[in-house]
């Protein structure tokens, strides 16, 4: 048996453990789908990644990251009544990412889960279309997540993902749709004043909560436009199958597989040994004064700002 095959045991318990369910975990056959798929687009919402302690410490201590590069916060989130997790959050305009200190994540991140990708839809009830698509493709479940506000759990988003049993991939994926009442109840005094469920509305509210003063000012980081991964052949097959169902088109460049969505490319290097994970990202940036400047975090992570208003960040 190849080494990567041994790494799959109990991964679905890991996934459901981190995404424990508030109200219901059901067969997706119980949810009716809306009819119109003609305008359906599945975007990148965010990703998460565990990094080593030295890298995490350098990132959260960086004045550049916190004051210039992005809307940044380090927070503990209480969800689903009794579940909580702590990490660093780096927000763009439509996308963001979560970084966790691997040495301190064992309490809320069961052993074996290093990274994950959250996709999302931006129109009400589009998640029902996704639920049906994933059900027709393979086993699937969905859940409603809540988040604490003033001591009360309020609806946050609905998520759906493929159920793989005991052969779940190293990099977990899911699709989410924000609840229409979330921004009506979570810091309703902040901008935007008439929010919907689009990613930009959610992140503007998050950034306004950080800034505490009106609409937050623009930062350098705009959006994640590419996510780089390494995956074994089985996990590549699983991810390619899911993303194809969601409308991503695939191409190949040698041993590299590229999935293209409406706003992001997923670039996958195939490996035979080792743990699958997110290894880097490419970002679009607002105009900034830094050209071809490199920032180092710990010994394994490097952020490079390029002259063409893009940036790359590697996590090895």
Considering the chain, what is the average pLDDT of its residues? 88
What's 75's DSSP letter?
E
Q: Which residues, given as ranges, of the chain have pLDDT below 50? A: 1, 4-10, 12-14, 16, 20-33
* Residue 192 pLDDT: 95
Looking up tokens 């963001």 gives 96
Tell me if residue 117 falls in helix, strand or coil.
strand
50-67 residue pLDDT tens: 999 999 999 999 999 999
Q: Which two structure tokens, joined as six digits, stand for 126?
A: 């589009």
Contact status, residue 191 vs residue 214, Cβ threshold 8 Å: yes
Distance CA 184, CA 230 (A): 39
Identify the sign of the CA torsion 240, 244, 247, 249: positive
Q: What is the pLDDT of residues 24-38, one digit of tens each?
A: 444 444 444 455 677
Q: What is the pLDDT of residue 50?
A: 96
Q: Tell me, what's the pLDDT at 110?
A: 59
In angstroms, the CA 311 to CA 41 distance is 25
H or E stretch at 233: helix 233-245
**Torsion sign across C-alpha atoms 224, 198, 235, 7:** positive
Q: What is the rounded distance in angstroms from the CA atom of residue 127 to the CA atom of residue 121? A: 7
Domain range summary for the chain, segments of one domain joined by +: 3-315
Q: What is the pLDDT of residue 67?
A: 93
């Amino acid at each position: 048996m190849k080494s990567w095959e041994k790494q799959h045991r109990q991964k679905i318990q890991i996934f459901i453990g981190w995404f424990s369910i508030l109200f219901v975990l059901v067969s997706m056959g119980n949810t009716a789908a809306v009819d119109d798929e003609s305008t359906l687009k599945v975007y990148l919402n965010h990703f998460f990644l565990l990094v080593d302690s030295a890298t995490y410490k350098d990132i959260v201590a960086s004045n550049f990251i916190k004051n210039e590069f992005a809307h940044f916060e380090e927070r503990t989130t209480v969800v689903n009544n009794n579940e909580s997790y702590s990490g660093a959050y780096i927000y763009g305009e439509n996308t963001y990412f979560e970084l966790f200190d691997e040495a301190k994540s064992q309490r809320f991140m069961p052993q074996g889960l290093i990274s994950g990708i959250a996709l999302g839809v931006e129109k009400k009830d589009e998640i029902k279309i996704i639920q049906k698509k994933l059900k027709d493709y393979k086993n699937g479940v969905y859940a409603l997540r809540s988040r604490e506000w003033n001591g009360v759990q309020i609806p946050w988003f609905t998520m759906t993902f493929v159920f793989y049993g005991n052969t779940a991939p190293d990099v977990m994926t899911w699709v989410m749709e924000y609840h229409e009442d979330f921004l009506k109840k979570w810091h309703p005094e902040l901008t935007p004043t008439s929010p919907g469920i689009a990613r930009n509305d959610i992140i503007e509210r998050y950034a306004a909560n950080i800034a505490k003063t009106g609409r937050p000012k623009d930062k350098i980081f705009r959006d994640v436009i590419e996510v780089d991964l390494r995956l074994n052949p089985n996990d590549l097959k699983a991810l390619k199958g899911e993303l194809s169902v969601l409308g991503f088109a695939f191409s190949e460049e040698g041993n590299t597989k590229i999935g293209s969505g409406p706003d992001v490319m997923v670039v996958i290097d195939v490996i035979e040994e080792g743990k699958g994970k997110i290894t880097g990202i490419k970002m679009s940036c607002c105009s900034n004064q830094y050209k071809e400047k490199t920032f180092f975090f710990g010994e394994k992570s490097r952020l490079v700002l390029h002259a063409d208003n893009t940036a790359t960040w590697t996590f090895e």
